[in-house]
């Protein structure tokens, strides 16, 4: 591992705030105005084991963090919708969380230089590249698979960071073998541990569902939302490196297969459950739920 390259965050136990964002990404934006009444949110998070005080505290934190706003449409009870920053976060997630990129073998290089007088921007820029899944090749030089180009342009442009960055695409031609360079640019041990942590929890869930014929809506929702919440961090930490450059026992492909199998089996029944709870609260939208992803 390159000592300049921050290790991915270790797999963490989920939090109410994270589950709320995951819910909005999967189902919440299909409510009218993307506004979910607090009573419905408490019921929907309660279905995955989060108690009402924890939901209220998490909503308050997300409001203070600028990701949710309080709304009171018409005479209806107060609810919460993603802020502009929250919507951008969820839309970014839509592009990354459900993608299964096919690496081309070419690379995207981000070379940046930030004046010392603006070192705060240097930290923001470095943090954003890490979040996008770049590895660190050398000080001020970051590398990722070339399929990250569009997302990188979009993200850096939105943050006003493009004046400090040059982007290049190309191939690695030496002198170190590319697989060895990849192991230096990314902390592969940490990434593999994240994949194995996901598999340890969610692969048994998939095996259990494969033994069943029906897909009850409530049980589907209870299994899908935590799986999505756990999965959505992985495509950011692991940007989809070429399999030929990874260790033979790399668990990333298996973890993707498990997530997408759960997604295909459980998402729509989970949508029906969310819609039913919204109807019970008198808030069901006229259209369908759950067209979009999460951050």
* pTM greater than the 0.95 cutoff: no
Asked if 78 and 36 touch (Cβ cutoff 8 Å), the reply is: no
> pLDDT tens digit string along 229-263?
999 999 999 999 999 999 999 999 999 999 999 99
DSSP state of 122: H
* CA dist., res. 13 & res. 190, Å (int): 16
State the fold for domain 107-170: Alpha-Beta Plaits (3.30.70)
> pLDDT tens digit string along 169-220?
999 988 999 999 999 999 999 999 999 999 999 999 999 999 999 999 999 9
CA angle 42, 47, 48 (to 5 degrees): 105
């Amino acid at each position: 591992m390159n000592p300049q390259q921050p290790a991915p965050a270790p797999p963490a136990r989920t939090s109410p705030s994270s589950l709320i964002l995951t819910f909005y990404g999967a189902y919440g934006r299909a409510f009218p105005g993307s506004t979910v009444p607090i009573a419905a949110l408490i019921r929907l998070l309660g279905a995955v084991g989060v108690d009402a005080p924890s939901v209220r505290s998490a909503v308050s934190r997300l409001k203070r963090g600028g990701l949710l706003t309080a709304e009171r449409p018409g005479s209806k009870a107060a609810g919460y919708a993603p802020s502009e920053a929250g919507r951008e976060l969820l839309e970014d997630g839509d592009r990354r969380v459900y993608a299964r990129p096919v690496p081309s073998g070419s690379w995207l290089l981000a070379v940046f230089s930030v004046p010392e007088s603006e070192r705060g921007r240097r930290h923001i820029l470095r943090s954003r590249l890490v979040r996008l899944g770049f590895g660190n090749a050398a000080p001020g030089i970051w590398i990722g698979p070339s399929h990250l180009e569009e997302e990188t342009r979009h993200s850096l442009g939105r943050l006003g960071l493009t004046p400090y960055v040059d982007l290049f695409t190309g191939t690695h031609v030496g002198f170190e073998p590319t697989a060895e360079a990849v192991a230096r640019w990314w902390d592969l041990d940490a990434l593999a541990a994240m994949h194995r942590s996901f598999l340890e929890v969610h692969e048994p869930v998939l095996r259990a569902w494969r033994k069943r014929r029906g897909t009850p809506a409530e049980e589907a929702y209870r299994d899908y939302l935590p799986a999505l919440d756990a999965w959505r961090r992985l495509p950011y930490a692991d940007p989809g490196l070429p399999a030929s450059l990874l260790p033979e026992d790399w668990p990333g492909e298996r973890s993707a297969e498990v997530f997408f199998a759960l997604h295909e089996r459980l998402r729509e029944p989970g949508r029906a459950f969310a819609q039913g709870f919204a109807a019970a609260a008198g808030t069901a939208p006229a259209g369908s739920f759950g067209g979009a992803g999460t951050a």
